[in-house]
C-alpha cells in the first residue's frame, strides 16, 4: 500500500491525499517520482516505497474517474469525494481505535475553535457517536452505552482584542453548527480565557491583562496564552464531568510545534506534546487528527460544505510566526515535509504519561478510571512521576531537576520558588527578568498554578529520604 499524490487546486500545490483507507487502490499510468515515502501511513507502518504519480493540473487532461473506486468522478486529484473522505476518516478511526482514545463510557469534551481541523474533529467524533447510538438502539437484550460529547470554545478576546460583535456572531454560528448535527445533543461551553485568572480581589480580565503585560517576550506571551487556553479547557472538563479532552491538532500543527520547540530549546519535553495521548493532565488530552494534514482537512470542509469560522486567526508572531512561514515554504517546495517532520519527531521516546493504561478488551466497558483504581492511582497521577514545569507543564530535564533539588529548600519567597520550578524555556521566555517584577508576576498567576506550586513536593521528599535513609526500615525489616 502506498501514499499517493493529488493535485489540490486550492493553491496549486501537491498534497498527499491517500493513506490507510486506500488499500488495494490501482495506480494508473503516471510518472513515478521516486522519492522516499513520507505519508504517515507508510511512516507509521515503517513501510518502504510509495508508488506515486503525477496528475495533470487543472485543465491539463487529468483523470476523470476516481482511481480507487473507479466509479465516481475524481474531485480531489485522483479521488472522488467519497474515497477522499473515507481515507481521512480511516486515519482518524485508526488513531482512535489503536490508542483506545474513545471508549463507550467516555464523556468527551472537544475543543472547538471553528477552524477546519476542529470542525473535522467535531464531524468525525459526531459520526462515531451516531454509529454507536445506532448500535445501541439495535441491541435489544443489552443496552450499550454511547459516549457523550460536549464542545468548548475558548473566547480569547481578553488576550487578542477583537470586536465583541464578532465574538457574538461566532458563538451564534457555533450553536447553529451544533444544532444542525443530529442527536445526541451536544452542549456548547463558551469559556472566556480570563476566567482562569479570576480572583476575589481582582476581576479576571484586568488580572490577565496585567499578567500578560509582565511578559515582554512576544513568543513567551503567545505560548503562555496557549497554556492558559489548555488550563481553561481542563477546568471546564473537570467541572462538567468530562473525562477526556479532544484537540484538533493535525500533522501540520504538530510539525510547527516540533520545529518551534527545537528552536526554543524544548527538545527534552517535545515528545510529550506530539503523541495521540497526553495523560499528564487531570483530564487526558487526545489528538485523533495527528496523522491528517491541515490542507486535507481544509479541503474536506470545502468539499463537504462544513462551515468553518475564523475567529482568532491573526497568525502567530515571534518565533512561532517565523516557524510558521518556514513550514509554509517547506510545504510549497515539497508537500510531504510536514509529515516527514512529524515522523522524525515521532522517533523520540515518549513519556510514561503518553498512553492510557491498557485495557484487556476495548469492547467491555472498563474505563481508565477503573484501571487507575486498580493501580492505586489518583486522577492526574501518572505511573512514573515526572516533575513538571509549573507554568507550561513540560517535564523538567535532569539538570533542571538537579538544580531544583539543590536549591528548593533555600527558597525564601514564593516568587523564588516560582522561578526555580519553571523549565529553562519559561524562565527565559515568560518570567520577567527583574526580581521585583517576578514578585508581581507571581501574585497575578492563576490560582490553579499557584496551588500546584505550593502543593508540589518537587523532589523535597526524595531529598528528605536521602537524608534519613539510614533511619528508614527496609522491606525485610518490615517482614520480620
Among 8, 15, 37, 66, binds Zn ion (CB under 5 A): 66
Find, among 125, 319, 337, the residue nearest to 252 by Cα: 337
Among 191, 233, 283, 392, binds Zn ion (CB under 5 A): 392
For Zn ion, the closer of residues 67 and 340 by Cβ is 67
Taking the complex as a whole, the smallest distance from the CB of residue 424 to Zn ion amounts, in Å, to 8
Among 68, 91, 244, 256, binds Zn ion (CB under 5 A): 68
Query: Locate cell 524562565: which residue?
Result: 427
Among 389, 408, 438, 453, binds Zn ion (CB under 5 A): 389
Taking the complex as a whole, the smallest distance from the CB of residue 65 to Zn ion amounts, in Å, to 8
What is residue 194's DSSP assignment? Answer: G
For Zn ion, the closer of residues 87 and 301 by Cβ is 87
Query: Locate cell 519535553: which residue?
Result: 269
The region of 147-155, 234-242, 313-321, 393-401 touching Zn ion under the rule CB under 5 A is 393-401
Count of H-run helices and E-run strands, the chain: 19, 8
Binders of Zn ion among residues 111 to 130 (CB under 5 A) are: none
Find, among 89, 69, 88, 90, the residue nearest to 79 by Cα: 69
Binders of Zn ion among residues 182 to 241 (CB under 5 A) are: none
- How many angstroms separate the CA atoms of 267 and 345, rounded? 10
Among 16, 80, 178, 289, binds Zn ion (CB under 5 A): 80
For Zn ion, the closer of residues 63 and 321 by Cβ is 63
Residues 6+ apart with CB under 8 A from 369: 243, 379
C-alpha cell, 96: 482512535
Does 287 interact with Zn ion (rule: CB under 5 A)?
A: no
Among 16, 83, 246, 297, binds Zn ion (CB under 5 A): 83
Taking the complex as a whole, the smallest distance from the CB of residue 86 to Zn ion amounts, in Å, to 8
∠ Cα 204 208 212 (to 5°): 175
Q: Are 225 and 193 in contact (CB under 8 A)?
A: yes
Q: In degrees to the nearest 10, what's the CA dihedral of 454, 457, 458, 462?
A: 160
Q: How many residues bind Zn ion (CB under 5 A)?
A: 12
Among 423, 444, 449, 453, binds Zn ion (CB under 5 A): 423
Element (H, E) at 300: helix 294-303
Question: CA distances (Å), 365 to each of 143, 146, 149, in order?
Answer: 12, 11, 17
For Zn ion, the closer of residues 66 and 323 by Cβ is 66
For Zn ion, the closer of residues 146 and 449 by Cβ is 449
Binding residues for Zn ion, per CB under 5 A? 66, 68-69, 72, 80, 83, 389, 391-392, 394, 423, 426
Amino acid at each position: 500500500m502506498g501514499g499517493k499524490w493529488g493535485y489540490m487546486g486550492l493553491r496549486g500545490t501537491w498534497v498527499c491525499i491517500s493513506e490507510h483507507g486506500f488499500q488495494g487502490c490501482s495506480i494508473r499510468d503516471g510518472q513515478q517520482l521516486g522519492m522516499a515515502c513520507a505519508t504517515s501511513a507508510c511512516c507509521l507502518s515503517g513501510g518502504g516505497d510509495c508508488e506515486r504519480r503525477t496528475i495533470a493540473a487543472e485543465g491539463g487532461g487529468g483523470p476523470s474517474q476516481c482511481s480507487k473506486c473507479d466509479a465516481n468522478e475524481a474531485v480531489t486529484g485522483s479521488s472522488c469525494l467519497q474515497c477522499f473522505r473515507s481515507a481521512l476518516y480511516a486515519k482518524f478511526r485508526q488513531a482512535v481505535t489503536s490508542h483506545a482514545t474513545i471508549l463507550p463510557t467516555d464523556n468527551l469534551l472537544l475543543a472547538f475553535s471553528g477552524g477546519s481541523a476542529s470542525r473535522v474533529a467535531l464531524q468525525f467524533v459526531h459520526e462515531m457517536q451516531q454509529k454507536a447510538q445506532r448500535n445501541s438502539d439495535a441491541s435489544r437484550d443489552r443496552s450499550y452505552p454511547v459516549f457523550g460529547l460536549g464542545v468548548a470554545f475558548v473566547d480569547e478576546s481578553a488576550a487578542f482584542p477583537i470586536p465583541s460583535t464578532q465574538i457574538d456572531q461566532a458563538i451564534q454560528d457555533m450553536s447553529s453548527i451544533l444544532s444542525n448535527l443530529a442527536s445526541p445533543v451536544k452542549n456548547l461551553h463558551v469559556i472566556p480565557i480570563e476566567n482562569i485568572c479570576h480572583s476575589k480581589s481582582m476581576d479576571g480580565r484586568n488580572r490577565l491583562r496585567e499578567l500578560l503585560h509582565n511578559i515582554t517576550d512576544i513568543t513567551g506571551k503567545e505560548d503562555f496564552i496557549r497554556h492558559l487556553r489548555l488550563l481553561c479547557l481542563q477546568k471546564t472538563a473537570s467541572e462538567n464531568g468530562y473525562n477526556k479532552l479532544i484537540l484538533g491538532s493535525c500533522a501540520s500543527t504538530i510539525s510547527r510545534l516540533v520545529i518551534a520547540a527545537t528552536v526554543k530549546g524544548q527538545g527534552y519535553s517535545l515528545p510529550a506534546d506530539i503523541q495521540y495521548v497526553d495523560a499528564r493532565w487531570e483530564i487526558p488530552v487526545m489528538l485523533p487528527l495527528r496523522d491528517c494534514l491541515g490542507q486535507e482537512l481544509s479541503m474536506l470542509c470545502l468539499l463537504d460544505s462544513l462551515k468553518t469560522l475564523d475567529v482568532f486567526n491573526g497568525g502567530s508572531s515571534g518565533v512561532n510566526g517565523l516557524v510558521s512561514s518556514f513550514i509554509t515554504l517547506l510545504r510549497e517546495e515539497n508537500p510531504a515535509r510536514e509529515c516527514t517532520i512529524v515522523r522524525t519527531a515521532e522517533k523520540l521516546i515518549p513519556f510514561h504519561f503518553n498512553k492510557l493504561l491498557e485495557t484487556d478488551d476495548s469492547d467491555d466497558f472498563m474505563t481508565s478510571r477503573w484501571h487507575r483504581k486498580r493501580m492505586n492511582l489518583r486522577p492526574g497521577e501518572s505511573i512514573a512521576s515526572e516533575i513538571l514545569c509549573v507554568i507550561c507543564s513540560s517535564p523538567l530535564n535532569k539538570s533542571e531537576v538537579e538544580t531544583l533539588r539543590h536549591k528548593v529548600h533555600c527558597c525564601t519567597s514564593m516568587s523564588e520558588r516560582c522561578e526555580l520550578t519553571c523549565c529553562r524555556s519559561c524562565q527565559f521566555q515568560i518570567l520577567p527578568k527583574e526580581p521585583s517584577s517576578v514578585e508581581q508576576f507571581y501574585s497575578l498567576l492563576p490560582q490553579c498554578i499557584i496551588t500546584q506550586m505550593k502543593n508540589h513536593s518537587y523532589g523535597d521528599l526524595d531529598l528528605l529520604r536521602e537524608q534519613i535513609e539510614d533511619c528508614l526500615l527496609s522491606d525485610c525489616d518490615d517482614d520480620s
